[in-house]
Structure 1
């Protein structure tokens, strides 16, 4: 039975967890909607053997707390309240005060505080600039000074872990555009990280001479958009390069460096790969998310369009050699980019994408997502949903690019009828005579639980389609 004293809604997800193995306090979360901010409660771990667990309020979602750590006498937490790029605070466990906490790490206007861990030595935390350049710092509990910690290699993403405030053990997981996740443990004597992987890290010879550029380009309104560009050394600005560009821009999720199979094989075939860190994501903090959210959602696809135009204007490529891809909520961004500027792209790939936003709340997991997209029950949000609905913006007689869509019949996140409706309408409306293909997995869902065979097959189909449509000579019908 649910606790009648806690306001659970139809879309709520009750969560219970411990923050470390020696914790005496149990935390309960009322996760409602897709917001990362949640009403949180606490109870004594001893209540688990009683007939009823007595939950008491700890903090409200309005406190904008995304992560917390229980220390011996203090609660440490990361919050965006009055700090769009986050700050780290602490408050006494005996009498928590979230209105006037001790601020340990102030907000940084140039980077987002993305993670933290507590050991018996002090607090470790991560700052990430533009979602692609991560640094690790240590706050000494005695001197109160922060110092940078050298990393084993440059990293775009850092996840920092510890066993709790009574142990010194510290690990980091790092990841980049051209290397997969690697685990390291910190050696306090040498002040260096040592490899701690359970298996040898895989090397990719095809990425040996790869160049990575992290730049910012102006969008339609002058706002600077982070843009990641990855390509083989020797590529020239001669309008002959095939480009595969990715965008997401939702849920405050940062499109951080990750070795996508699309990137690996596209680079192997001589192409350029890019990621447009559009508004709606979390690359520049809470404000970046709100700038591509509900009524401001058009910024997401307009940012993608601006990044695409940058490659053309800088003579990297031409319109007939550009493929764009996105997945899930990224379907909004990519879907609207190709319906607003179909002339910019030779091909588009949309995996299990949201393409009919006005009907989003009426499908599986729909009500849970109204906090991100909006609801048709609100007149202002209705207009915003219409604007971000790619299906509603398909027009007859327009020369649309080639499109490859995927759908999973058992998808509990994005109902299969979303990409299916979009495919059917686009096939009817497009005057370009380019292929509009829909690949349906009748046994699968959103893709998380797919076998490696299925994942490899999907990558094969998508990249073959993109290489075919962007003119690679080895992928043309014979």
Structure 2
């Protein structure tokens, strides 16, 4: 069973009744009685009831909330213990996870740095090789950092010469990071320690004597995991000095809502500060001279467009931008210039540019073509140099390096293909495997198909459908979606998902509007006043799968995480008849108060401002917490974690309490609350397997998926 905080001494403090009922599978669940309060907010003439406002309080601080969490977990655990197939799925997931997973290597000096998880390790280990043919050795093994495996190595950056390494530590899934420095030759951690780092790059200076980082003010203890994140600043840390002495490099106290990230130029001549106010790719760029020249120039003043510096050559800086190019283009700017004087290097095309790099004297451009990657090559003047061959329909990442690099590395994965690392020889053009996983299944047993279906307004939406070749419909199907923040859903491998496919289930992934699959227009069509399009797209995907015989009326489960959890909550409220089961993970459920906690204020770019009438009228129409109604709901399982300081767990707590208190049918409506875990990153392998064997067994039970060995 998963690790829990011990709340026994607190059970008598809340005005609630707590019990762990005994019941037969399929019978109505007796939920804990949740206290209600008379909170009513009047907004623009609308009285909004919020009877579970008290559940917004931090579970680590408020004993009442802690007791509620304990009571809910008791009910959920008791129910899940009766669900067939749970142990079988967990066993199979462990077997499918048990293969070596290697990350894309980074070259610094003559050293190669890379992560690898041998299989069932809770956290990936950082290795280093001295030279191409040198023996690899362990540099950082985070698996010894915490007994429960919930302390993770987050980011790591070697110095230019490969002699030192900055690394950040993530504890219990929180977004806060602690930064330390390591001597690569000895493997010893130095005395330097930097705290209160969040949403930050880590950038070495050119000579490796110190680094730049972004931090927030130290919060008070009660607000550590809930307070709004404002007043971010960039500081410089000189090795061997205390953090208190770190000089301020950049801040905007007159604009406390701005975030700032630092990037050191390839030649070390300047620091580029990228400032933003929300989740939109709308940036201000400020250039700060280095090497004794601290001249500051704002080269892009307005928060209007996306700008990403990808490299330098011949006194010019290369950027990927959507300025005058909704699907993005590559431009160059003189090092003394500004956005008013740009040269187009690679023009906007039919497909969206999802990434690019200047490496080995050429441009490597990663395109998103119908939600899958295609990689094209250009010289630095923009002349096409061909296309990089890929193994199939999949996702690609990597291609780091310098202007004079002779090699670069990239990853490839698909729904039926775990990540393989490839080496690309920039001289010969040869692509060879660098790290291939050994698998406990045959990828050729599965088909990956892409289809296009019509949404409510006729818009064609792409969807991937994955299944065993031997499976013929209709079959139990898991439909996944996101639809927001310009984030694209592309093919990717998941051992937990493969366990579902092995049992004869189908997996479908819809590329909904609101994502970035087709550029700015696709994103804009699924946010703010257009957010309903996202829900319509997802509902239409479910209807299509049933109409085409992929799945049956009572065989369709849906799943989404974060903004996707919002998606699941909204569509279940709108079409409870369409789905047999639903999993809403770490979702944004209260659309009228999301901007009051931690990173929530950034999301107004996609959702709008709850305190503006036009946005309020849109939000209240689909807010999952506010639109729960009397109806025959599908089986619903909500998942969250006590240390989620991205989407605070109060969203899920309030939504679940209201759903349980509503006449919503006899199927179970449960919440699974993990301890010492956050929004998802850094979660140990053990916790992932425990969580998804619980969730997928629950979904299998209500879609008719028979798990082998039950």
Aligned counterparts of 2:502 and 2:527: Cα–Cα separation in 1: 36
1:117 offset after TM fit, Å? 1.3
Aligned counterparts of 2:506 and 2:484: Cα–Cα separation in 1: 24
Match of 2:377 in 1: 138
Match of 2:403 in 1: 165
Mapping of 1:389-408 within 5 angstroms? 389-396=623-630, 398-408=631-641
CA pair 139-474 structure 1, distance change in 2 beyond 3 A: closer
Q: CA contact under 8 A between 2:360 and 2:401: conserved in structure 1?
A: no
Which 10-residue stretch deviates more, 72-81 or 343-352? 72-81
Which 10-residue stretch deviates more, 284-293 or 146-155? 146-155
- Which residue of the other structure, out of 192, 196, 215, is the alignment partner of 2:451? 215
2:244 paired with 1:9: no
Aligned counterparts of 1:475 and 1:268: Cα–Cα separation in 2: 9
Q: CA contact under 8 A between 1:326 and 1:334: conserved in structure 2?
A: yes
Aligned counterparts of 2:621 and 2:407: Cα–Cα separation in 1: 50
Q: Secondary structure of the residue that 1:162 maps to in structure 2?
A: coil
Which 10-residue stretch deviates more, 183-192 or 333-342? 183-192
Match of 2:513 in 1: 279
Q: Deviations over 1:123-180 (max 9, x none)?
A: 1211111222x111111247x5313333241242222423222333332222212223
Q: CA contact under 8 A between 2:524 and 2:530: conserved in structure 1?
A: yes
CA pair 221-24 structure 1, distance change in 2 beyond 3 A: same
Q: Secondary structure of the residue that 2:509 maps to in structure 1?
A: strand
2:301 paired with 1:56: no
Match of 1:129 in 2: 369
* TM-score scaled by length of structure 1: 0.91
Match of 1:232 in 2: 468
* TM-score scaled by length of structure 2: 0.62
Match of 2:328 in 1: 86
Mapping of 1:40-51 within 5 angstroms? 40-47=285-292
Aligned counterparts of 1:363 and 1:14: Cα–Cα separation in 2: 19
2:415 paired with 1:177: yes
Q: CA contact under 8 A between 2:580 and 2:702: conserved in structure 1?
A: yes
Aligned counterparts of 1:366 and 1:69: Cα–Cα separation in 2: 32
Q: CA contact under 8 A between 1:120 and 1:166: conserved in structure 2?
A: yes
Which 10-residue stretch deviates more, 323-332 or 3-12? 3-12
Q: CA contact under 8 A between 1:423 and 1:438: conserved in structure 2?
A: yes
Aligned counterparts of 1:8 and 1:282: Cα–Cα separation in 2: 32
* Number of residues of Structure 1 aligned to a counterpart in Structure 2: 463
Match of 1:114 in 2: 354
Q: CA contact under 8 A between 2:584 and 2:639: conserved in structure 1?
A: yes
CA pair 63-472 structure 1, distance change in 2 beyond 3 A: closer
Aligned counterparts of 2:305 and 2:705: Cα–Cα separation in 1: 52
CA pair 271-76 structure 1, distance change in 2 beyond 3 A: same
Match of 2:650 in 1: 417
CA pair 272-311 structure 1, distance change in 2 beyond 3 A: same
Match of 1:72 in 2: 314
2:275 paired with 1:30: yes
Q: CA contact under 8 A between 1:249 and 1:278: conserved in structure 2?
A: yes
Match of 2:201 in 1: none
Mapping of 1:438-453 within 5 angstroms? 438-453=671-686
1:372 offset after TM fit, Å? 2.1
Aligned counterparts of 1:472 and 1:5: Cα–Cα separation in 2: 55
Gaps of 5+ in 1: none
CA pair 8-387 structure 1, distance change in 2 beyond 3 A: farther
CA pair 118-463 structure 1, distance change in 2 beyond 3 A: same
Gaps of 5+ in 2: 1-232, 234-247
